[in-house]
Structure 1
Amino acid sequence: MGYFQDTGVLLLYCMTALFWISADRKFIFALLYALVLLCGEYVLEHRMTKILGCVAFDGTSILIPELVVFYPVMGYALLKEKSRVAALTSMITGGVILTENTYLQNGMLLNVAFGCLLAVLLERKTKKYDKLDREFRKTIDDGEEKTLLLAEKNRALIEKQNYEIYAATLRERNRIAREIHDNVGHVLSRTILLTGAAKALNKDQNLEPILDGLDDSLNSAMDSIRSSVHDLHDEAVNLQESIKGIIRDFKYCEVELKYDMSNKVTSNVKYCLIGIVKEALSNVMKYSGATYVKITVREHPALYQLCVEDNGHGCADNMNKTTGIGLKNMQERVSTLNGTLRIESEKGFRIFVVIPKEMQ
């Protein structure tokens, strides 16, 4: 906007030449020429083309002296292109033309000179304004970039915090399950044995109903504890850490893991995926001769996906020639969850598993 404001002011100033000369055809031509020059300077991108346009304006003024009236506009355009030598040359040329054309000397020399000075002042003002505007925009962009970066870091910290809370919760559930199993479970088991011994040694018929009720109550309590410990243990399985543990123990070749799953995965899906990863890595070690394995575990809106692939020579035929129990076990695990399992042995060995969520 600074360009149009400045050139507009300069054009209005140049129109004051009408106090000294008449608005004849040459003046109208000079005005239109100046307007075309200004539009071209704004639209064109090549710097030399813009400078050549101003030089052409300068050359035409030798034939049409009235163009000198709009030299301040041309000088401004040259200054915008940082061509100060060309701008100074044009101003000197204008002065020479005014000197040689006596009918334009009547006050015009001072008018054009002041106009050129105004062009210099406007160009410097706009240059400072543009510099401040660029710095302001850069500050805003830097601020937005830092805000986005901070938001991303906060999101990562929140995710890490949530995962640590989730992992700590699973560890605590495991600890509670072990405590119940090791302490309460053992005490109940000993009490059930003592109650059975008491029933065997008892000869008082009046005590038999009491001992039978005590034995039933203890066995019921033991069943409840077993169920609770089993549920706690299933819920405490950390799928990501379990797969990472399997990979750490796998020393045959390099394994890359890409994991993108939420914490809300049912225990049967966890055990299925863990079992398939174990079996797949075992097959890699036995048959494939691979040097690299990639494991991808990903959750989609409607399904869970597991992909185990290596760069070996393929092992489906080798496994089929043997018992094939490993592949059969994988297939049974996936079928139980209404999923699908696909195996490819071209260019390495690849196991692809899809388990739908809606069936869980």
Structure 2
Amino acid sequence: MSRILDRIILLIYCLGAVLLQEADTAFLAAFLSAVIYSFLGYYFRQRSLHIILAAFYISFAIFFPTFLLFFPVILYGFAEDKLFLSLILVVEFCLFHFHHAPWRLLPFLILGSAITLWLDHQTSLYEMLDAEFKKMRDDSVERNLLLKQKNQSLLEKQNYEIYNAVLKERNRIAREIHDNTGHMLSRSILLTGAAKAINKEEGLTPLLSQLEETLNTAMTDIRKSVHDLHDESVNLKETLDNLIESFSFCPAVMEYDMGFQIPQAVRYGFIAIIREALNNVIKHSNADRVHILVREHPALYQLIIEDNGTDIKTSKLTDGTGMGLTNIKDRVDSLDGNLQIQIENGFRIFITIPKKEAL
């Protein structure tokens, strides 16, 4: 907007020449030519176009000296593109001298040229400052986005560490219950059984039987609690990482994008499916790369296992009747999921499991 305003100011200034010279047809033609040059130069910012337009204007100025009065407008276009400023000033002076124009117009043109150069300098300075401001603003926005991403990554890492610590603590508690309380209950059950065997008083027999039954019930409850704690403490990502790390047949890469609250059935299902799929790669494929994608979507869980094998040794793999694929299909069906198998350009297993309120 500043450039078009500069051109309007220069056109108004040059119109002031009407006070020094009669406004005839040539003056009007010069004014219209200057207007056309200004607005074409503004909307089509091409140096070649500026040079061509200026050449036409100078050609007219050779035959119609009135065109010299609007030379500051032409000079602004050259100043904006930094094109031969000194040359255009020399041309202006030579044309002025060639036409033997009244010397009273020379100060008018010199002042106009000075105003032109000053306007261009101020506008260029403003554009430079504006560009620096926009760059600083963009850099600031980019830094804020990077900082936000780093903070998000840090929060996710902290949440994962907390989640992992909780799982390890559950595992520790399960081991403590199994190793200490479980053993003590087992010993108590054995001692109760021994007491029943050597007991000779009829009155104590019902009490010992009730005690044994209570201890057995407590042992059953503790075993169930230990198993539940152990099942809940399984870290899906850590388990899958260990599976892939132990897979030495060929390079395997996993993309993992799952939340923390994963249903137990899905966790164990994915672990078993991936283990079975990797075994199938070893037994039935000549693949040299395996890619695994484990991802959680708003409405479903997704598992993709694919390799680049070209030699499927067992036909049962292609029709889904192999024991390994049957096991995979059974697990997917138990989760009400969907299984798709593709054999184009390798072997691909695509599984989706819908989310449920209690899976």
Question: TM-score higher than 0.5 here?
Answer: yes
- Structure 1 distance, partners of 2:91, 2:349, is 82
Q: Which moved more, 1:55-64 or 1:87-96?
A: 87-96
Work out which of the residue numbers 247, 250, 268 in structure 1 matches 2:265. 268
User: Is 1:145 the equivalent of 2:142?
Assistant: yes
* 1:52-71 correspondence to structure 2 within 5 Å: 52-71=52-71
- Counterpart AA for 1:36: I
- Structure 2 distance, partners of 1:116, 1:348, is 74
DSSP 3-state at the match of 1:307 = strand
- Counterpart AA for 1:60: F
User: Is 1:289 the equivalent of 2:281?
Assistant: no
Is the CA contact 2:4–2:42 (under 8 Å) kept in the aligned structure 1?
no
Structure 2 residues without counterparts, runs of 5 or longer: none
- Structure 2 distance, partners of 1:354, 1:145, is 36
Is the CA contact 1:306–1:352 (under 8 Å) kept in the aligned structure 2?
yes
Relative to structure 1, the CA distance from residue 15 to residue 320 in structure 2 (aligned partners, 3 Å threshold; closer, same or farther) is closer
Work out which of the residue numbers 177, 187, 193 in structure 2 matches 1:196. 193
- Structure 2 distance, partners of 1:346, 1:113, is 79
- The Cα RMSD (Å) is 2.1
User: Is 1:77 the equivalent of 2:77?
Assistant: yes
Is the CA contact 1:316–1:349 (under 8 Å) kept in the aligned structure 2?
no
Is the CA contact 1:295–1:306 (under 8 Å) kept in the aligned structure 2?
yes
Shift of residue 93, structure 1, vs aligned partner: 3.2
- Structure 1 distance, partners of 2:345, 2:308, is 7
Is the CA contact 1:293–1:308 (under 8 Å) kept in the aligned structure 2?
yes
User: Is 1:16 the equivalent of 2:19?
Assistant: no
Cα shift readout 1:107-131 (whole Å, capped 9, x = no counterpart): 2111111111111122122222222
Q: Which moved more, 1:242-251 or 1:305-314?
A: 305-314
User: Is 1:330 the equivalent of 2:337?
Assistant: no
DSSP 3-state at the match of 2:341 = strand
- Structure 1 distance, partners of 2:103, 2:303, is 91
Task: Give percent identity, aligned residues only.
Answer: 44
Shift of residue 351, structure 1, vs aligned partner: 2.1
Q: Match for residue 234 of structure 1?
A: 231
Aligned length: 357
Work out which of the residue numbers 208, 213, 220 in structure 1 matches 2:217. 220
- Structure 1 distance, partners of 2:213, 2:77, is 103
Cα shift readout 1:10-51 (whole Å, capped 9, x = no counterpart): 222212211111222222211111111000111113211112
DSSP 3-state at the match of 2:14 = helix
- Structure 2 distance, partners of 1:267, 1:232, is 11
Q: Match for residue 50 of structure 2?
A: 50
- Structure 2 distance, partners of 1:100, 1:342, is 88
Is the CA contact 1:243–1:274 (under 8 Å) kept in the aligned structure 2?
yes
- Counterpart AA for 2:65: P
- Counterpart AA for 2:137: I
- Structure 1 distance, partners of 2:283, 2:97, is 100
TM-score, length-scaled by structure 1: 0.92
* 1:1-360 correspondence to structure 2 within 5 Å: 1-83=1-83, 85=84, 87-101=85-99, 104-105=101-102, 107-312=104-309, 313-317=311-315, 324-358=322-356, 360=359
Relative to structure 1, the CA distance from residue 255 to residue 127 in structure 2 (aligned partners, 3 Å threshold; closer, same or farther) is same
- Structure 1 distance, partners of 2:24, 2:269, is 94
TM-score, length-scaled by structure 2: 0.93
Q: Which moved more, 1:24-33 or 1:268-277?
A: 24-33
- Counterpart AA for 1:349: F
- Counterpart AA for 1:308: I
- Structure 2 distance, partners of 1:307, 1:316, is 21
Q: Which moved more, 1:341-350 or 1:228-237?
A: 341-350
Cα shift readout 1:254-288 (whole Å, capped 9, x = no counterpart): 11111111111111111111111111111111121
